[in-house]
A = this chain, B = another copy of it.
Amino acid sequence: MLKMENMILKEGKVLPGGILKVGSFLNQQINTVLMKSAGEEIERLFCATEVNKVLTIEASGIALAVAAGMQLSVPVVFAKKHKTSNVDGNVYSTKVHSHTHGVDYDVVVSKDYIGKDDKVLIVDDFLAHGKAMQGLIDIAGQAGADVAGIVVAVEKCFQGGGDALRDKGLRVEALAAIESMEPNKIVFR
């Protein structure tokens, strides 16, 4: 998606350790005009798949997930992150390791909001090593739901998470797929 790539080139900042800072338009500040276009693009990509629910993870996945859900006219369910194990019986949960923060946390979704009749589109802001994404796929699996596909705003291809999921036969779409990056030089796939 050209608008996403152009925004990354204009406002993204490459930091040491393979980090791309996009806080001005995708994370802490959200460019809603861009999000609306992103939602339209996601609708174009997945409108033929009979998705009935969007699944994401708090907090920075929510904006793109809502943009997608609005265009597809389906509800959005977001998984919660817990650092402690205050998880009761009425949830699906799985452990995820965060490379960014160096900690494990529980990812939790109430059993009320995802089930075996659901066909979910998993949405997140970033796909890097793919740990959070694997957690969401695991949650969908526990619920007996189908995964129609995965879409992220930015895939950092060089960290391998996206291709590992494609190798498992999943459909993975990135609105911007970064093949390599260094300060002032970002190459898209």
Q: Taking beta carbons and an 8 Å cutoff, which residues of A are in contact with B? A: 23-25, 28-33, 35-36, 58-59, 62-63, 66-67, 69-70, 72-78, 80, 109-110, 112-113
| Chain A binding surface SS class | mixed
Selected A-B contacts with CB under 8 Å, 25 pairs:
A23-B112, A24-B112, A25-B75, A28-B78, A28-B109, A28-B110, A28-B113, A29-B77, A29-B112, A30-B66, A30-B69, A30-B77, A31-B75, A32-B69, A33-B70, A35-B66, A35-B70, A36-B70, A58-B58, A58-B59, A59-B59, A62-B66, A63-B76, A67-B70, A70-B70
**A76 pairs with B23, CB closer than 8 A:** no
